[in-house]
Structure 1
Amino acid sequence: MYKKENDIEYLKAEIKKKNRLIDEYHLTFRILNLQIAQLQHYKNRISNLHARIEYYRKVIDRLENIIPVKKFIKIVYFGIDRCVNIFEKIFKKINCRQFIINEKNNFIFHYKFFENQQFNQSHLILIVAEVTLPQCYKYRVQQKKEYFEKLGWQCRIVDWRNQSEVLSVLQICKEVIFYRVPAFQNVLDQISEAKRLGLKTWWEVDDLIFDKKLYLQCGFMKYLPKGELDLLLFGSGLFRKALLACDHAIASTSALAQNIRQVGVYEVKVIENALDQNTLRIASDLYPRKLEIDGDLKKKDEIIVLYGSGTKTHNADFLIAADGIISALIHEKKLRLWIIGELELPNQFGDFKNQVCYFSFRSYDQYMKLLAHADIAIAPLEDIAFNDAKSNIKFLEASILGIVSVCSPRKNFKEIIRDGENGFIANSTSEWKEKICLLAGNSQLRQRLGRQAYYDVLKDYSPDTILKKQVEPIFGIPNKQVRDKLKILVVNLYYAPYSYGGATMVAEEMSRRIQKKDNTEITIFTSRPFSQHKGLRRYCDNGFLVYSVEISPQSYPSEEFNNTEIVDPFEMVLQAVQPDIVHFHAIQNLGLHLIASCQLKDIPYIITLHDTWWLCDRTFMVKNNHKYCFQEKIDLNICQACEPQVFYLRERMKMMKKSLEGASLLLSPSETHRQLYIVNDVDPDKIIVNRNGVSRPRKLRKKRMAGSVLRFGFVAGNEIIKGYNLIFDVFTSLKHENWKLTIVDSKSNLGYSSFDIDSWKGQDKVIIIPPYDENSKDDFFNEIDILLFPSQWKESYGLTVREALLRDVWVVCTHPGGQSEDVIDGINGTYISLYDGSEELKKVIEGFLKQPSFLDAYLNPYKDHIMTYEQQADELFEIYNSVKVAENKKHPVL
């Protein structure tokens, strides 16, 4: 088998990659420093605003003195009334947007997966845990992680309080265990989400904390203040509710499992507390090669009886052995009682201060070292159902150090202890005294029983034993992953149901078509509007998985490309999908750190350059005066003059270049766009044209009726960059009446309308409609004669233009740019320049309105030049395969 690690070239490449990442981090730090400077800049602006507000306040005070009070009130009243009307419109839009977002989120959040659905090939098991109880965490959480990883599973542990992280990791796991979690609303949401994803929901516990009646039997309860008692019982109800919310359960003992079944969960498995690698490592240093006795702790002839108490709740347990221990201390003066942790001894022990020693609670390693000094370990427990459900941890910890134990006859202790062979059982005051004294007076007996206990716990509670007998039968071994498919992860800012823009349409259509190719698997990574910190979410679209992540509102403009918040969920998806290739489309706001993740993990990636975001901080090379920049070779000095308030342009450009340089291939939708990137130092051999496709018409176009009004169409949001202001200026100033304008508001898919119909004079001639889909696309184009595309930048392509040309719709578009490559001026469309504002567009439209009949029999003679979705998908599929072949040559497997 070829090993990359032995290849000098590979090692050089790794060093180069690490150096590149170090440069990346340096850039990030520089950007952070720039953001600090920017904050100072904003602080100064806020101070100026405060000064202006104070100025206006003084002006109002003066006006009150000058203007009669009634008149002043009238002015204020009408001003407020107008503001109320404005705010009503704003709130109406906000509410409408929120309604649409809620509807779309409902589709994502409520998409139901079914258990064992074939595409869940994850090897990850998630443990959502209570992490604040050290002993519980060690025995129930950390040990599970060891077992799972030994079986070949990956395992991730998340605190149940970290809602966003839990919800995110649920999306990429195979199974989930909820350990000792209460049914607060966030936990119920986690369980509900696990069920939506078709995951088995396991609730795990190691104490009888979900049964109030049995919990109240514990002796310590009667000593608790009422408030503390009420809190414990309230918690018990929450644990029970969480247990019943899950379909399956895991218990630490068979008695506890039976209690769970009686509550109403019938599939209950037992995984006992056991030894683990950490415990075995510690024990190997302490036994049988006993540690050197610390003379300050223990004198040579002393016999140490040790009791470890985790909390004050063990006071009642200790009481059942207290009298026997006192009798033993009286009888055997060499006995010393060591107590580790919290315990309130009965008053009788006041007479034995010289024989009792307290040690504060300490780490597990330190606890085991103290325990190794002991000669006898004790584990007294009340005779109640709560304790019969407990595990025998105290016996395990003492036995693995070869220390003999005396324990109460609770169920799990009786199952392992053979009285007089590997330990002692004590069930009365006399038995506690008798057996402690017997051991205290016979060192050989202590050693023999301790040694036998050591062998017994190694046999019955070793990690391998529990793994084979208890863990593997429940969770099994993960299926071996067979790399028989080409796996592509497609990354785009938007995706259905939040479809918006040409890049999104291309990403969606290509994914749907390539998914149908043999041995190909497409997965999507995208975003959705921010909403309640719900993290990563998985749903399904057209048979493939989509992972969507929330994007928080930006604190700094640089977060558009320098967003570190998305890295963790993206890397979760990389781990789950393990793609052969990542295809980045429009990643504004997702950020460049996603690309850095691919570089770090040596995953090949492709970038489709849908716009000039990779060259221009303003994305479309349009200046703040709304005019196209017309730079060819980008000069950052010019850019800085365009954006004087921005501090990060040079760092941004460096990060962009590193991202482009690391790509396996760059795709441009048009040759015009390709040449722009080549001028800006992109390797010509690395960038190729992959023209965007459009769907073929499904319906025949209706013949235009002679003498009918001329029908115009515009597809975009209310944006200057798309030329909407030009259209508005032209149509509100036309003197002709024989026209109709249909506007497709592409922004409404994002949850709000970007147009206000009230602003149009001839409202009956203007119609605003929501975006079309594949089913309604032909209907839209059949209802227009001319598509207006007055984009104010050199588009990379212009998808709507091609859709119109393929359907015999005349196109008016700006030139030059990718939008005009398939338009032949005077044959299937009309060029207007990027320079002349609305006058040229108005002249063209008035010309059409004077002679509308020129379109009566129009057919585009060059429809065969338009790339279809099918053709683009075939071409893109070949590109994917060529990148995969090249990658295999770089890292061959022999």
Structure 2
Amino acid sequence: MYTSSIVPYTYSNPWDVSFEQRFDLLTRGKYRVAYYYATPDTSTFRYRAFNVSQALALGPEESTVSASWFVADDFARMGRVLDSCDALVLCRNSLYNGKVARLAARARTLGRRIYFDVDDLVFDPSYTHLLMDTLNVDLNNDGVWDYWHAYIGRAGATFELADAAIVTNDFLAERAQKWSGKEAKILPNFYNKEQGDISEEIWVCKERDSWSRDEYIHLAYFSGSPSHDRDFSLIADPIAKIMDYDSRVRLIIVGFLNNSTPLSRHSDRVTILSLKDFINLQREIGAVEINLVPLQDNPFTNCKSELKYFEAAIVGAVTVASPTHAYRHAIKQGENGFLSAAHKWKETLEHVISLFDSGSQRELLCRSRQHAMAQYDWRNQKEKIESVFL
């Protein structure tokens, strides 16, 4: 673990601002995009609505497009928003209901273009069983089936209100187009200013301290939600076998995860931390040597973005990921990270650990950071965003 110390930040949501402030953001540009996300959260809302609005408002170059976000609590004032915007984006958690239908109808009457923004395969009912199986939910519980069929059905109904979709990668775009018969435009996820600022501070501290580390090798899994048990099962046994003979190896799990049987014999070397806000999460990632991203290989997981790669790259952690669609495109083997087939995790992790033993990981970390900053920094997104809307 790196010994550089960054004091924990006192976190507050940067999107908790007044309606008038958000309305001002909307009306700054010539082409105005209103995002509607029913209830803000720190994951999809942040990547798909807040980050876009921030990148356009604070970017180094003036943009023709402006954007802002609005939520269910703003519904009584959405008439003013629709009168002032050129496009309405209904995000994935704006599940179909009377209010969403009314918004779309009003937007349609005013001639506004309507988009459905989605970052997961959660609109096509034919994938419901696969999604539930991947998330390892209780398939014998009718209530769970009711929940997921309702969720996907309502998301699909919102999609049907739109003229086109906005998605994170071409794998998801192909499925959105096939299901809806509508155009799907691609806007990859990227990190925001707050993440960039704290990550820069972490990187500078590591450089200042000459990348000093303790005697251990820390592997870390940042689960994010309580639905990744099957993903983690891909790596539990390989990690346990490495820990059998390498006493330096430690495992850190941040977020939600049920106990993994293969690792029970090394429980004294496994640390489980509570879920972190997205700023202090960067501190946790920056403290470890190796960032683990195991994923099952199926249509649902191939629709996911590469965010766990770029958020690790900007703080100097090596990512080892399953070769799903997004990670195959983001990671060049051995140059800015590593990909591992399901049956090769032990071999791949042993190789990455050997880089730290030889001290040769430094160049790879610099390349991955440079790549992440070029492709995923909030200051470099203006043209990509404009290409979606103009």
Q: Same fold judged by TM-score > 0.5?
A: yes
Within a 5 Å distance, the mapping from 1:684-723 to structure 2 comes to: none
The answer to whether residue 87 in structure 2 is matched with residue 175 in structure 1 is yes
Residues 160 and 166 in structure 1, CA contact (< 8 A), matched pair in contact too: no
- Quote the residue 2:353 is aligned against: 440
- Alignment of 1:357 with 2:265, yes or no, is no
Q: Does 1:234 align with 2:147?
A: no
SS in 2 for 1:312: coil
- Taking the aligned partners of 2:86 and 2:67, their CA distance within structure 1 comes to 10
Residue in 1 aligned with 2:43? 135
Which residue identity does 2:341 align to in structure 1? N
Secondary structure of the 1:134 match is coil
Same amino acid, percent of matched pairs: 22
Whole-angstrom distance in 2 between the partners of 1:465 and 1:301: 38
Structure 2 unmatched ranges of 5 or more? 1-28
Amino acid paired to 1:272 = P
| Equivalent residue, structure 1, for 2:370 | 455
Alpha-carbon deviation of 1:276? 2.5
Q: Give the corresponding residue for 1:197.
A: 110
Q: Which residue of 1 aligns with 2:230?
A: 316
Corresponding position: 1:148 with 2:61 = no
Which runs of structure 2 are paired with 1:402-481 in the superposition (5 Å)?
A: 402-429=316-343, 431-443=344-356, 444-468=359-383, 470-476=384-390
Of 157, 162, 170 in structure 1, the residue corresponding to residue 69 of structure 2 is: 157
Q: Which amino acid aligns with 2:322?
A: S
Q: 1:166 aligns with which of 78, 102, 111?
A: 78
Cα shift readout 1:546-572 (whole Å, capped 9, x = no counterpart)? xxxxxxxxxxxxxxxxxxxxxxxxxxx
C-alpha distance in 1, partners of 2:38/2:334?
38
Shift of 1:410: 0.2
Which position in structure 2 is the counterpart of 1:327?
Answer: 241
Matches of 1:291 and 1:332 in 2, distance apart?
27
Give me the whole-angstrom Cα distance separating, in 1, the residues matched to 2:32 and 2:334: 45
Question: Which residue in 2 is equivalent to 1:211?
Answer: 124
1:273 partnered with 2:189 = yes
- Give the CA deviation at 1:353: 0.9
Indicate which of 354, 377, 384 corresponds to 2:291.
377
SS at match of 2:300: helix
Corresponding pairs, count:
350
C-alpha distance in structure 2 between counterparts of 1:292 and 1:307, whole Å:
26
TM-score by length of 1: 0.38
The aligned residue for residue 174 of structure 2 is: 258
Q: Point out the structure with max Rg over C-alpha.
A: 1
Q: Residue 122 and residue 453 in structure 1: after superposition, are their counterparts in 2 closer, same or farther (change >3 A)? A: closer
- Deviation for aligned residue 1:154: 4.0
| Partner residue, 1:760 | none
Rounded Cα–Cα distance in structure 2 between residues aligned with 1:376 and 1:274: 21
In 2, distance between residues paired with 1:128 and 1:147? 17
* Equivalent residue letter for 1:240: G
Asked if the contact 1:288–1:402 (Cα under 8 Å) also holds between the matched residues in 2, the reply is no
Residue aligned with 2:341, SS: coil
Q: Please give the alpha-carbon distance, in whole angstroms, between the structure 1 residues aligned to 2:265 and 2:45.
A: 38
3-state SS in 2 of match to 1:237: helix
Aligned to 1:97: none
**Secondary structure at 1:189 match in 2:** helix
Does structure 2 conserve the Cα–Cα contact (< 8 Å) formed by 1:275 and 1:462? yes
Matched, 1:399 2:307: no
Q: Which runs of 5+ in 1 are unaligned?
A: 1-120, 477-894
Partner Cα distance (1:399, 1:267) in 2: 32
Per-residue CA deviations over 1:836-869 (Å, capped at 9, x if unaligned) read xxxxxxxxxxxxxxxxxxxxxxxxxxxxxxxxxx
* Residues 403 and 447 in structure 1, CA contact (< 8 A), matched pair in contact too: no
Match of 1:336, SS state, is: strand
- Which amino acid counterpart does residue 321 of structure 1 have in structure 2? I
CA shift, 1:397, in A, is: 0.5
Within-5 A mapping of 1:420-569: 420-429=334-343, 431-443=344-356, 444-468=359-383, 470-476=384-390
Distance, in Å, in 1 between the alignment partners of 2:39 and 2:321 is: 28
- Could you tell me how far apart the structure 1 residues matched to 2:299 and 2:204 are? 36
Residue 292 (structure 1) shift: 9.2
- CA apart distance, 1:331: 3.1
Cα RMSD (Å): 2.1
Q: CA deviation at 1:369?
A: 0.6
User: Contact between 1:260 and 1:268, CA under 8 Å: does it hold in 2?
Assistant: yes
Q: Is the 8 Å Cα contact of residues 236 and 262 (structure 2) preserved in structure 1?
A: no
> In the alignment, residue 232 of structure 1 is paired with which amino acid?
W
Residues 249, 265 of structure 1: 8 Å contact kept: no
- Using the TM superposition, give the Cα deviation of residue 260 of structure 1 relative to its aligned residue in structure 2, in angstroms: 0.6
Distance 1:460 1:220 in 2: 29
Residues 121, 300 of structure 2: 8 Å contact kept: yes
Distance of 2:226 and 2:121 partners within structure 1: 17
TM-fit CA distance, 1:459? 2.0
Distance in 1 (CA, whole Å) between partners of 2:45 and 2:112 is 23
CA displacement 1:470-489 (0-9 Å, x = unmatched): 2122234xxxxxxxxxxxxx
Whether the aligned pair in 1 keeps the contact of 2:323 and 2:340 (CA below 8 Å) is yes
Letter in 2 for 1:286: I
Equivalent position amino acid for 2:346 in 1: K
User: What TM-score do you get using the length of structure 2 for normalisation?
Assistant: 0.84
Q: CA separation in 2, counterparts of 1:252 and 1:333?
A: 40
Offset at 1:366?
1.1
Q: Following the alignment from structure 1 to structure 2, what is the Cα–Cα distance between the partners of residues 355 and 257?
A: 42
Q: Counterpart of 2:189 in 1: which secondary structure? A: coil
Taking CA–CA contacts closer than 8 Å with sequence separation of 6 or more, which of the two structures ends up with the larger relative contact order? 2
CA apart distance, 1:291 = 8.4
SS where residue 398 of structure 1 aligns? helix
- Partner secondary structure for residue 228 of structure 1: helix
For 1:380-427, what per-residue CA distance to the aligned partner results, in whole angstroms no more than 9, with x for missing partners? Answer: 011110010100000011111121110000001000111112111111
Aligned to 1:290, what secondary structure does the other structure show?
Answer: helix
- How far apart, in 2, do the equivalents of 1:242 and 1:425 lie? 36
Contact 1:439/1:445 (<8 A) preserved: no
